[in-house]
Chains A and B, each alone.
Chain A
Amino acid sequence: MAATVSFQLNGRAVAPEADGDTPLLFLLRNQFGLKATRFGCGNEDCGACVVDIDGHARHACTTPLVALAGAQVTTAEGLPAHPIGAALLAAFAQEHAGQCGYCLSGILMAAFALLRANPAPNRASIVAALDGHLCRCGAHGGILRAVERAAASLAAATP
């Protein structure tokens, strides 16, 4: 049923016209034109569609519009505007993290949620935060190093 649900999307108030059970993934890609959030499985198995909702990494493919009332949603498009997001993007570039790149936006969002909650994660916490994300190209090593580098650069920037 059509519902008016308003939420914050990358810092902007939005109230999409859509059925309440519409998955966020389809709204982001087809209504808002935000293509960084990707379809991979539709079943929470791969992590390609992960976004940050109120500080938590969530699967956009299974999050319905009705669940978003009043939420703060951040997608990879919103990362450059946020200090943690900017640090992650810089670190991923410096570490040459990624091959085809399809999994990266979801991984970046999981890392973003992790660093917001835990600014100094150890390797095991990073692995745990990313373990629901599949990367078929085998870029895991560079990605783990990039998250560590981002955490270190943020720590260095904090007096």
Chain B
Amino acid sequence: MTGAALPKSLTDTPALGRWVSLAEPGRVIIFTGKVELGQGITTALAQIAADELGVRLNQVTLAEVDTDCAPDEGFTAGSQSVEVSGTTLRLAAAQARAALKAAAAQHLCADPARLTCHDGAVWLDGVPSGLDYWALAADVDWHQPVTGTSVTLAIAHRLVGQSVPRADLAQKRIGGGYIHDIELPGMAHVRVLRQPFRLARLERVDTDWLARRHPKVRALAKADFLALIADDELAVHAAQAEADRFVRWHEVAGRWQPATSPAEMVVTSGADGPPEPCTSTIAVRYARPHIAHASVGPSCALAQYEAGRLTVWTHSQGIFALRTQIARCLGLEVAAVRVVHAHGAGCYGHNGADDAALDAAIVACEVPGRPVRVQWSREDEMSRGPLGAAMSAEISAGVDAAGRVAAWQMRVTSAPHAQRPGAGGHANLSSAEALDGAHLPRAVADLPEAAGGGASRNARAIYDFAQEVRVTIDTQSPVRTSSLRSLGAHLNVFAIESAMDELAALAGADPLAFRLRHLTDPRCRRVLIEATEMADWDGGQAIGGGVAKGLAVARYKGKGAWLAAVAEVVVEAEVRLSRLWLAVDAGLLINPEGARSQIEGGAIQAASWTLKEAVQVENGRIAAFGWSGYPIMRFSDVPEIETRFIEPPDAPPLGAGEAAQGPVAAAIGNALARALGARVRDLPLSRAQIMQALAGE
């Protein structure tokens, strides 16, 4: 790691003291720009920092992530937190320890080689010297840049590699700990009545009716933004439930216009020469619908505008970008806005958190001095936040006489995956559009390939054959879409790995052998072989027997963790996923149980998307829905899962949170095709889609 290019976090924020502080006696305060999303990142980062500083885990405190003091590390997304922020903290902590040791050496007139550090105390020749980090802190230049050189990284991991329990969960099991639980003195409760479709105009609010029926509640309208406010939460909750009785919206035809989309992107242009002759070919289309984030805790935010300064509490993934856009939407200086992160319920991407934050900010500015708390309803959380993007992938491919893939063309068409606050220069916040229709995004781009791509994520297959891959962003729907766990990788890997099975069948080959024939990446081969051994893969299973296994493999983003999955499905009234075997290479595991939770949790969520989930869109509108309109996997649906990690020696850690999404989807699809004797290419793999696919055969 030493000597390699510095993480962007460190080139953006080089000063040592921005990452590590000894200002509090006996405690090491660690600053990070990455936020806890329920993925356990704060525990993993504390383990890394404690190891490098040579202190106990309980001596480390991660500072609140707050725009006033945190380093700006962009969004907590893309499985980058362990890779980027972990490396950053490792380098900063190692340099802090070296600087403290050098200061101790000077005090003790001793060679630094004679010094060791134990729980923050400095020992000389194996005995306590009487000095500790806090006594030495004043001798260290905390403005020095973290260079990533001339430091010795801790060789022996003490905490890294241990399944340390999550520091935050003990409290959350028996009490508060979420943004929803924050109470500010004199706080008002707010519910926002959201536009039922994009750019809906607020036609009428029957304030007389509201005053009679809900006397404690006041309506606050600003252009097409409408909030209900009261001292008592139950009052706004009850009034929101009756919104249809006193609020009317209308459509202004032509007000919504699609954003311009980027030109078709060529991910890879295929072979140079003439096409190879194929003995048999496929031309097929795979698709997924829009998917809801569907967190169990609906979005929440608090805000207070006092003495010209706005403070916003949010569970956003990117507090700095959010700060800029809130300031812009409300006509404030960026410096006049402070955004503080607080833990939310599970976050799987760009959900309603940012929207809720602007909601609270708008209302706070209308009631200066008074803190306000905005709570989204279940229906808003499901149907009014950004959705995971609907996509399709058309694959035309063929095999030659030797049973090798000789042609491969893939065309991906997708709704936008990258509409976070600030993306493309747009606010991308729902209430911004309610305040002023001019906030509607006019141009949409995909996430660049360097960032792992959006619609193009994992569109390039990992196999060693020439490929032509093109990606188009479709902006013709007014439905708001953005980043959901793994972005395009879910459908792209589903498509690629389904097509590989379809081609293997044409070649008369075992899907495992067929893949290995085209696969030289040794770590990819290893997870694939491992998973099939775990699952007792026999390769020649009967087709159409109602029970079957399927396999799939991918390397997340082409540069992250490798994961192979074998799924066993049983076709009953619905498709039941009975078992799942996962083999993963995510490099060094900082917290093995944490990594397992991320992988298996991702697998269950991917299985739920793949088997059950679709947001219904009609004429660009989504009727509000709750859980009854959007079933997800329950305890009685989840499979037995066996997960094995392969940890090659000296392999740096890779993010684990999103690696399972694509392979699990495809393994289920491939298992279903074998169990059914027919291929279902449109997600979800529900009874209705199966009947449709069978009717079309």
Contacting pair B165 A40 (CB below 8 A): no
**Interface status of B178 (Cβ within 8 A of chain A):** yes
Q: Which of A130-150 contact B (CB under 8 A)?
A: 130-131, 133-144
In the bound complex, what is the Cα–Cα distance between A144 and B628 (angstroms)? 24
With contact pairs A35-B176, A101-B169, A134-B627 given, residues A141 and B297 touching in the complex (Cβ less than 8 Å): no
In the bound complex, what is the Cα–Cα distance between A141 and B180 (angstroms)? 26
Instruction: Tell me the count of chain A residues lying within 8 A, CB to CB, of chain B.
Output: 51
Kindly identify which residue among A43, A80, A101, A136 contacts B172, using a CB–CB cutoff of 8 Å: A101
**Interface status of A54 (Cβ within 8 A of chain B):** no
In the bound complex, residues from chain B placing their C-beta under 8 Å from that of A42 are 237, 377-378
Contacting pair A137 B346 (CB below 8 A): yes
- Distance in Å: Cβ of B174 to nearest Cβ of chain A: 5
With contact pairs A100-B347, A139-B601 given, residues A105 and B173 touching in the complex (Cβ less than 8 Å): yes
**Interface status of A127 (Cβ within 8 A of chain B):** yes
Q: Of B123-131, B635-643, B668-676, which stretch is located at the interface?
A: B635-643
* Nearest CB in chain A to that of B634: its residue: A131
**Interface status of B603 (Cβ within 8 A of chain A):** yes
Contacting pair B346 A99 (CB below 8 A): yes
**Interface status of B39 (Cβ within 8 A of chain A):** yes
**Interface status of B181 (Cβ within 8 A of chain A):** yes
As a 0/1 sequence over residues 61 to 79 of chain A, the CB contacts with chain B under 8 angstroms (1 = contact) are 0000000000000001101
Contacting pair A45 B626 (CB below 8 A): yes
**Interface status of B80 (Cβ within 8 A of chain A):** no
Q: Which of A23-43 contact B (CB under 8 A)?
A: 23, 26, 29-30, 33-36, 38-43
As a 0/1 sequence over residues 166 to 183 of chain B, the CB contacts with chain A under 8 angstroms (1 = contact) are 101110111111101101
Contacting pair B605 A96 (CB below 8 A): no
**Interface status of A46 (Cβ within 8 A of chain B):** yes
**Interface status of B530 (Cβ within 8 A of chain A):** no
As a 0/1 sequence over residues 342 to 368 of chain B, the CB contacts with chain A under 8 angstroms (1 = contact) are 011111100000000000000000000
**Interface status of B296 (Cβ within 8 A of chain A):** yes
Contacting pair B174 A127 (CB below 8 A): no
In the bound complex, what is the Cα–Cα distance between A45 and B377 (angstroms)? 13
**Interface status of A60 (Cβ within 8 A of chain B):** no
In the bound complex, residues from chain B placing their C-beta under 8 Å from that of A29 are 181
In the bound complex, what is the Cα–Cα distance between A38 and B173 (angstroms)? 11
Q: Which of B357-414 contact A (CB under 8 A)?
A: 375, 377-378
Q: Which of A106-144 contact B (CB under 8 A)?
A: 108, 127-128, 130-131, 133-144
As a 0/1 sequence over residues 85 to 114 of chain B, the CB contacts with chain A under 8 angstroms (1 = contact) are 000000000000000000000000000000
**Interface status of A53 (Cβ within 8 A of chain B):** no
In the bound complex, residues from chain B placing their C-beta under 8 Å from that of A137 are 38, 346, 597, 601, 605
In the bound complex, residues from chain B placing their C-beta under 8 Å from that of A39 are 180, 297-298, 375
With contact pairs A42-B378, A45-B378, A99-B40 given, residues A79 and B602 touching in the complex (Cβ less than 8 Å): no
Residue with the highest number of chain B CB atoms closer than 10 Å, among A76, A101, A103 = A101
Instruction: Tell me the count of chain B residues lying within 8 A, CB to CB, of chain A.
Output: 59
Residue with the highest number of chain B CB atoms closer than 10 Å, among A23, A128, A131, A136 = A136
In the bound complex, residues from chain B placing their C-beta under 8 Å from that of A101 are 38, 168-169, 172-173, 177
Contacting pair B296 A134 (CB below 8 A): yes
In the bound complex, residues from chain A placing their C-beta under 8 Å from that of B633 are 138, 140
In the bound complex, residues from chain A placing their C-beta under 8 Å from that of B510 are none
- Distance in Å: Cβ of A53 to nearest Cβ of chain B: 18
* Nearest CB in chain A to that of B38: its residue: A100
Contacting pair B627 A45 (CB below 8 A): yes
In the bound complex, residues from chain A placing their C-beta under 8 Å from that of B163 are 96
As a 0/1 sequence over residues 205 to 234 of chain B, the CB contacts with chain A under 8 angstroms (1 = contact) are 000000000000000000000000000011
Contacting pair A139 B597 (CB below 8 A): yes
- Distance in Å: Cβ of A124 to nearest Cβ of chain B: 9
In the bound complex, residues from chain B placing their C-beta under 8 Å from that of A93 are 165, 169-170
Contacting pair A38 B346 (CB below 8 A): no
In the bound complex, residues from chain B placing their C-beta under 8 Å from that of A51 are none
In the bound complex, residues from chain A placing their C-beta under 8 Å from that of B658 are none
**Interface status of A48 (Cβ within 8 A of chain B):** yes
**Interface status of A104 (Cβ within 8 A of chain B):** yes
Residue with the highest number of chain A CB atoms closer than 10 Å, among B174, B597, B604 = B174
In the bound complex, what is the Cα–Cα distance between A48 and B173 (angstroms)? 12
* Nearest CB in chain A to that of B379: its residue: A41
Contacting pair A130 B181 (CB below 8 A): no
* Nearest CB in chain B to that of A101: its residue: B172
Contacting pair A140 B173 (CB below 8 A): no
Residue with the highest number of chain B CB atoms closer than 10 Å, among A79, A89, A137 = A137
With contact pairs A45-B378, A98-B169 given, residues A136 and B632 touching in the complex (Cβ less than 8 Å): yes
In the bound complex, residues from chain B placing their C-beta under 8 Å from that of A92 are 173
**Interface status of A22 (Cβ within 8 A of chain B):** yes
Interface residues of B (CB under 8 A from A): 37-40, 163, 165-166, 168-170, 172-178, 180-181, 183, 233-234, 237, 294-298, 343-348, 375, 377-378, 593-594, 596-598, 600-605, 608, 626-628, 632-636, 638, 641
Instruction: Enumerate the 6 nearest inter-chain pairs by beta-carbon distance, A residue then B residue, closest first.
Output: A100-B38, A138-B604, A35-B176, A138-B601, A100-B346, A102-B345
A-B contact pairs, 28 of them (CB 8 A): A30-B233, A33-B183, A36-B173, A38-B178, A42-B377, A45-B378, A77-B174, A77-B175, A79-B173, A93-B169, A96-B594, A99-B39, A99-B40, A100-B38, A100-B343, A101-B172, A102-B295, A104-B173, A131-B636, A136-B294, A136-B296, A137-B38, A137-B346, A137-B605, A138-B605, A140-B638, A141-B600, A141-B638
17 further A-B contacts with Cβ under 8 Å, apart from A36-B175, A138-B602, are A35-B176, A76-B175, A93-B169, A96-B596, A99-B39, A100-B38, A100-B347, A102-B297, A102-B345, A104-B169, A127-B635, A133-B635, A134-B634, A136-B346, A139-B601, A142-B597, A143-B635
